[in-house]
Amino acid sequence: MNTQKNIVITGFMGAGKTTVGEILARKLNRRFVDMDAEIEARSGFTIPQIFRRHGEEGFREMERRLIRELALRHGLVIATGGGALVDDEMREMMGRHGLIVCLNASKEEIRARLAQSLDRPLAADWERLFDARQSAYAKISHQIMTSGKTPREIAAEIAILDDGALYVRTPDGGGYPIIIGNGLLRIIAEEAEELGLAGHVVIVSNETVAPLYGERLAAALPRADLIIVPDGEAHKNLDTVRRIYDEMLACGADRTTTLVALGGGVVGDTAGYVAATYMRGIQLVQIPTTLLSMVDSSVGGKVGVDLPQGKNLIGAFKQPRSVVIDTEVLETLPPLQWRCGMAEVIKHGLIGQPALLEPGLWQPEQAAQLVRQAVQVKIDVVEIDPYEAGIRAHLNLGHTFGHAIEKATHYGVPHGEAVAIGTVKAALLSRNLGFIDDDLVARIQTIMWQIGLPTNIALDSHRWYAAMATDKKWQAGEPRLILLRALGEATIVEGLRREDIMTVL
Ligand SMILES: NC(=O)c1ccc[n+]([C@@H]2O[C@H](COP(=O)([O-])OP(=O)(O)OC[C@H]3O[C@@H](n4cnc5c(N)ncnc54)[C@H](O)[C@@H]3O)[C@@H](O)[C@H]2O)c1
């Protein structure tokens, strides 16, 4: 049963309710109801005709009837007429099962927008109405100023307010939900059907995570086997894959079995690769347990393992059936792993969601909100570029510098720390090229410091540069880096000069 709250978008005429509502509904994979269009479809008349035949009161009565009906339903995105929720009783009714959001625009903007659509009833008298409705709109707790924002940006802002599932659209026209909450694993059995866990399930986890959460999860699900693999990147390889295949065959896994990856990015990538290949592919559910895997590796469909010759050389695209993120498991995550995950969160903040840079959101009790906002950046990128042909590269901000640190130190520096240093270097280079100012560089350095991440490393710059030049993202030996064009905006820069890079190293 769908128990999600409705998302109800209201606000003055011309505020963008219908356009934003349509985008939001597509983004969240929900049904969209435009109240004015619904009233027109049901009555067989246009809104101006209804006003002429029945007067404003006749129209309001139709609106009230529709509100009473919609307020009892779930999971819809609803765009109301501008006057629909001015009445206290109607607003309360919609609010009982719905999240109401009011879109605001200045009088000047409304004037400009209405100039293009004067056929709306009441448009002639709009200024008086605008003033008269302000006190009712002000009673709505979620207010969004639309000035200077695209409808897509406004929809993204509303999606964050909603605490229901996020949704990722995949290139095959389908998609999958990401469910985020605190304590989800304790109630997962109740949702087994919806999450694709009601049949035979094989849970793959590692020696660290299985005793903490795997055994409990296996016991809670109706028919589950648990396969435990060794912990660590050193085991993200074909030997482990082979071992999982063997154990799956031994426990009778077939094409109807669902594989659950329960662990950090290493388990997610390895088990995901098994799901992509076992009997030509079986259903996969990702249950990430590190901050990094929650905001990054569990979403987007990239799975794979390492070869002795290099990382992630064998892989596939395998979209999960669902991603279940229980932020309660972060309580047992070692502090170093939290900090390393935060390096990726900050990167997401810099390339797409500046709110992530606010320290208030880094507190443990805010984890669900933090993950939600950070994973939304990943969703936005992978939906546009599912196969890494273009802007998905933005997720590599700081990574070419960082990978080179890992390589030059023989993986003596943890990935997240290397990414933190790399992000600072990318910011310095962005400033030297005139893209961003000193203040933003200083802010990034301070953020890393507040989280407990390093911002520099004593490493010979020639060795560092040489390690960067082997990065597979440098095309045909041409320096190519992801840099910051502005806060919240990354860009691919090609043809960089060696001396410019050496300066920041
Ligand atoms: N597929 C992708 O798109 C993608 C993206 C980024 C990174 N990755 C991959 O992800 C991997 C790194 O993932 P990671 O940082 O999650 O490391 P990880 O999987 O090695 O986990 C880090 C450590 O934390 C432990 N752990 C996990 N959850 C825990 C919990 N809740 N409580 C206590 N301990 C816990 C693990 O056992 C491990 O020892 C790399 O292999 C990287 O290549 C993949």
Question: Read out DSSP for 187-251?
Answer: HGGGGHHHHT-SSEEEEEEETTHIIIIIHHHHHHSSEEEEEEE--SGGG-SHHHHHHHHHHHHHT
- Do 376 and 489 belong to one domain? yes
Query: From ligand 1's centre to the CA of 483, what distance in Å?
Result: 25
Whole-angstrom distance, CA of residue 296 vs CA of residue 447: 20
CA geometry: angle 445, 405, 501, nearest 5 deg: 70
Q: What CATH number has the domain bearing residue 354?
A: 1.20.1090.10
DSSP 253: -
Whole-angstrom distance, CA of residue 504 vs CA of residue 456: 10
pTM: 0.78
Whole-angstrom distance, CA of residue 33 vs CA of residue 409: 56
Whole-Å CA distances, 47 to 62, 77, 494: 11, 21, 54
Residue to probe by mutation, ligand 1, list 297, 325, 378, 397, most atoms within 8 Å of CB: 297
pLDDT at 1: 36
Query: From ligand 1's centre to the CA of 118, what distance in Å?
Result: 56
Q: Which of 161, 194, 224 is where one domain is finished?
A: 161
Ligand 1 pocket check for 266: Cβ under 6 Å: yes
Whole-angstrom distance, CA of residue 66 vs CA of residue 71: 8
Ligand 1 pocket check for 342: Cβ under 6 Å: no
The range of the structural domain enclosing residue 291 comes to 166-333
On whether residue 1 sits in a domain, the answer given is no
Number of structural domains (the chain) is 3
- Do 205 and 352 belong to one domain? no
On whether residue 192 sits in a domain, the answer given is yes
Ligand 1 pocket check for 189: Cβ under 6 Å: no
Query: From ligand 1's centre to the CA of 283, what distance in Å?
Result: 21
Ligand 1 pocket check for 206: Cβ under 6 Å: yes
- Do 61 and 130 belong to one domain? yes
Residues annotated catalytic, as ranges: 280, 302, 344, 378, 388, 392, 396, 399, 403, 415
Q: What is the DSSP string of 389-404?
A: SSGGGGGGTTHHHHHH
Q: What CATH number has the domain bearing residue 268?
A: 3.40.50.1970
- Do 484 and 373 belong to one domain? yes
Ligand 1 pocket check for 30: Cβ under 6 Å: no
Whole-angstrom distance, CA of residue 379 vs CA of residue 397: 16
- Do 326 and 343 belong to one domain? no
Ligand 1 pocket check for 205: Cβ under 6 Å: no
Check if the beta carbon of residue 296 is closer than 8 Å to that of residue 267: no
Mapped onto helix, strand or coil, the DSSP state of residue 164 is coil
- Do 188 and 287 belong to one domain? yes
User: What's the pLDDT tens digit per position in 171-206?
Assistant: 888 889 899 988 889 888 877 887 889 899 999 999
On whether residue 293 sits in a domain, the answer given is yes
Ligand 1 pocket check for 332: Cβ under 6 Å: yes
Closest Cα to atom 5 of ligand 1 = 297
- Do 68 and 215 belong to one domain? no
Contact residues for 285 (Cβ-Cβ < 8 A; gap 6+): 195, 196, 197, 258, 259, 260, 261, 320, 321, 322, 323, 324
- Do 476 and 397 belong to one domain? yes
Query: Atom of ligand 1 at shortest distance to CA of 311?
Result: 43
Ligand 1 pocket check for 233: Cβ under 6 Å: yes
Can you give the C-alpha Rg of the chain in angstroms? 26
- Do 124 and 61 belong to one domain? yes
Query: From ligand 1's centre to the CA of 264, what distance in Å?
Result: 3
Closest Cα to atom 6 of ligand 1 = 297
Q: What CATH number has the domain bearing residue 122?
A: 3.40.50.300
Query: From ligand 1's centre to the CA of 192, what distance in Å?
Result: 25
Closest Cα to atom 10 of ligand 1 = 265
- Do 424 and 488 belong to one domain? yes
Residues of the chain with pLDDT under 70: 1-3, 117-119, 163, 475
Check if the beta carbon of residue 393 is closer than 8 Å to that of residue 324: no
Check if the beta carbon of residue 278 is closer than 8 Å to that of residue 259: yes
Q: Which of 140, 161, 182 is where one domain is finished?
A: 161
pLDDT at 3: 57
Query: Atom of ligand 1 at shortest distance to CA of 272?
Result: 1
Whole-angstrom distance, CA of residue 434 vs CA of residue 272: 42
Whole-angstrom distance, CA of residue 160 vs CA of residue 494: 34
Q: H-type helices in 278-334, by residue range?
A: 291-292
Q: Which of 141, 161, 181 is where one domain is finished?
A: 161
- Do 438 and 358 belong to one domain? yes
Whole-Å CA distances, 378 to 173, 209, 353: 18, 25, 10
- Do 15 and 157 belong to one domain? yes
Check if the beta carbon of residue 355 is closer than 8 Å to that of residue 305: no
Task: Estimate the share of the chain in helix, then strand, then coil, as percent rounded to the nearest 5.
Answer: 55, 20, 30
Query: From ligand 1's centre to the CA of 289, what distance in Å?
Result: 8
Ligand 1 pocket check for 395: Cβ under 6 Å: no
Closest CA to 260 of 279, 283, 244: 283
Closest CA to 93 of 6, 18, 213, 188: 6
Ligand 1 pocket check for 269: Cβ under 6 Å: yes
Query: From ligand 1's centre to the CA of 409, what distance in Å?
Result: 20
